[in-house]
Amino acid sequence: MKNNLIKKIITAVAAATLGAALLTGCGSTGATSAEAASADNLGNQVYRTLDEIKESGTVNIGVFSDKNPFGYVDENGTYQGYDVYFAERIGQDLGVKINYVSTEAASRVEYLETGKVDIVLANFTVTEERAQKVDFALPYMNVALGVVSPEDNVIEDLSQIGADDQVIVISGTTAETYLEKNYPDIKLQKFDTYATAKTSFENGTGVAWANDNTEVIAYSLENEGYVVGIPSLGSQDTIAPAVSKGNSSLLNWLNDEIKALGNENFFHADYEATLLDTYGADYEDTLVVEGGVVAQAEAAASETEEATAGDLDIVPGNGETIKIAASPVPHAEILEKAADILKDYGYELDIVEFEDYVQPNLVVESGEFDANYFQHVPYLDSFNDEQGTHLVNAGGIHYEPFGIYPGTKSSLDEVADGDSIAIPNDTTNEARALLLLQDNGLLKLKDGAGLTATVNDVVENPHDLEFVELEAAQVARVTKEVEYVVLNGNYALEAGFSVAKDSIAYEASDSVAAQTYVNIVAVYDGNESTDKIKALVSVLRSDEIRQFIEDTYDGAVVFYD
């Protein structure tokens, strides 16, 4: 035991101390909310928070000005349309005036990224690519792509389009992206505005015009001589409001607003006021989404056999992205599995790995990330206390158990008076080792010793066991010199032990240590009740993730019940 073979380890206590030291050295972020107004860590955050909007008395909303019946300016110079009807209610419920900002399809993302608008309500289809740049709220309309063409040459299938033919699209729309990706041989004639695309189409520039089916249907109904030969192209999508990436306060307010409006069938009223004359009553229930709930998505999620996470109570995400910080192993690996399941419920999981225990909390505090998964509650509490952060536990997922492993003896039935047991000597790990030995009847600690217990707190030792206290990394090296060793999961794996096969006993999921040191999903205070965080935790707590953990980690990682 004279060998001084020391490995640099990071335990929970050391991690907390290191985190505090690093933060003290680098200076505090000074953030007192997830959205320290108008400046991210790089100094280029431009969005306004919900409170800032209310304080200013004005909300800037990007809408179309030339796309009747969704967003347009009437003969009196007043904005009208389905999106505008919704915008007016947003202004009313926020208690602010509305500054309408005319936008084109290609400018919607840019206007949010530069802070020119707070919200975009411009027939904005939710897509995975866009969700990497902006945050979409819950949907309020269904949509697919459609193709309109002259009645004397109706395009009913894209195979009819010749090599020299052109299809008109508007830059920055879903139609442009879809055709470029799936039909790269089709020539596209692109226009920046709806008005110029319409004029060009009517002048015969293209054999067809591809756009949202709501728009091409409206066009054919309002203009004689044109037919929608392809009413639905590609998958069913949704239209939703969008805010700047990371603007969680405004996003959460919009989601709550959409849910509340669903209770009064607001979007049916919107349809009847703005779209009924164009589409008629037959399309109303097909196009309208109330309360952010897409019936088709719910049915698919519950019926598909691919969604093996079970009947999870999850509000569909409709393309929403959840950005999460994680340690590489096992956290990021578990999240990769969860990402596959979340896709079935309409969520994209953006996993970013961190090697330290400080930045994952800072990026959640700043609002840059939605959540993190790397720590247990004692570390989180210590971090909050020392740094003034506002993070909370959204749900426990797994723990990495301590186990009793064979030394020169392989069963606790063989315990004899005077046997030696090697245990870690640092505060956290020694306490866990002693609690595990107590749970298995080998000793008794004084009342209240708990998670700060040391060998000095042992009040009953019926076998007069000798406790050999060593650096945690050294415990596994003395298996030939002591009867038993007590190891954390990672050191057991390094020593070649299988937790499931080789441990004599290990921490139960209902043990004090497991409940205390369970690894959690942490979020900014208040965000634990948002739909996407509840979806994330529900999936991570699912039977499929439980099975993945059991199959992958051989007991070194245990699902938390």
Q: Which class is domain 401-516? A: alpha beta
Checking if the pLDDT of 42 tops 80, the result is no
Q: How remote is the C-alpha of 352 from its chain's centroid? A: 11
Question: How does pLDDT run across 147-194, given as a tens digit for each residue?
Answer: 999 999 999 999 999 999 999 999 988 889 889 988 999 999 999 888
348: buried, middle or exposed (CB in 10 Å: 19+, 13-18, 0-12)? Answer: middle
Percent of the chain with pLDDT over 70: 88
pLDDT mean over 95-116: 95
Q: Can you name the CATH fold of 142-238?
A: D-Maltodextrin-Binding Protein; domain 2 (3.40.190)
Q: What confidence tier does 490 reach under pLDDT thresholds 50, 70, 90?
A: low
Q: Are 142-238 and 401-516 in the same CATH fold?
A: yes
Checking if the pLDDT of 309 tops 70, the result is no
Question: How does pLDDT run across 232-281, given as a tens digit for each residue?
Answer: 787 678 899 999 999 999 999 999 999 999 999 999 999 999 999 888 88
Q: Can you name the CATH fold of 15-30+299-400+517-559?
A: D-Maltodextrin-Binding Protein; domain 2 (3.40.190)
Residue-level pLDDT at 472: 80
Checking if the pLDDT of 28 tops 70, the result is no
Q: How remote is the C-alpha of 262 from its chain's centroid? A: 24
The string over 76-110, giving b where at least 16 C-beta atoms fall within 10 Å of a residue's C-beta and e elsewhere, is eeebbbbbbbbbebbbeebebebebbebbbbbbbe
What is the pTM assigned to this prediction?
Answer: 0.45
pLDDT mean over 219-225: 88
pLDDT mean over 406-424: 96
Question: How does pLDDT run across 353-400, given as a tens digit for each residue?
Answer: 998 888 999 999 999 999 999 988 888 988 899 899 999 999 999 988
Checking if the pLDDT of 70 tops 70, the result is yes
Q: Confirm if 260 and 140 have CB atoms less than 8 A apart.
A: no
Residue-level pLDDT at 307: 36
pLDDT mean over 18-44: 36
Q: What confidence tier does 195 reach under pLDDT thresholds 50, 70, 90?
A: confident
Checking if the pLDDT of 304 tops 80, the result is no
- Of residues 393 and 129, which shows the higher confidence score? 393
Element (H, E) at 238: strand 226-239
Q: Which residue has the tokens 């709550």?
A: 256
Nearest to 485 by CA among 419, 396, 551: 419
Question: How does pLDDT run across 431-469, given as a tens digit for each residue?
Answer: 889 999 999 999 999 998 888 889 999 999 999 999 999
> In the chain, where are the structural domains located?
15-30+299-400+517-559, 50-140+241-293, 142-238, 401-516
Question: How does pLDDT run across 514-540, given as a tens digit for each residue?
Answer: 778 889 999 999 999 899 999 999 999
Checking if the pLDDT of 295 tops 80, the result is no
Question: How far apart, in whole angstroms, are the C-alpha atoms of residue 169 and residue 181?
Answer: 14
Q: What confidence tier does 2 reach under pLDDT thresholds 50, 70, 90?
A: very low
Residue-level pLDDT at 311: 62
Q: What confidence tier does 231 reach under pLDDT thresholds 50, 70, 90?
A: confident
What mean pLDDT value characterizes the chain? Answer: 85
- Of residues 499 and 410, which shows the higher confidence score? 410
Q: Which residue has the tokens 């894209």?
A: 158
Q: Which class is domain 50-140+241-293? A: alpha beta
- β-pairing verdict for 226-239 and 141-150: antiparallel
Checking if the pLDDT of 559 tops 60, the result is yes
Question: How far apart, in whole angstroms, are the C-alpha atoms of residue 174 and residue 180?
Answer: 10
Percent of the chain with pLDDT over 90: 56
Radius of gyration of the chain (CA): 30
Sequential DSSP letters for 144-204: EEEEEEETTS---SGGGS-TT-EEEEETTSHHHHHHHHH-TTSEEEEESSHHHHHHHHHTT
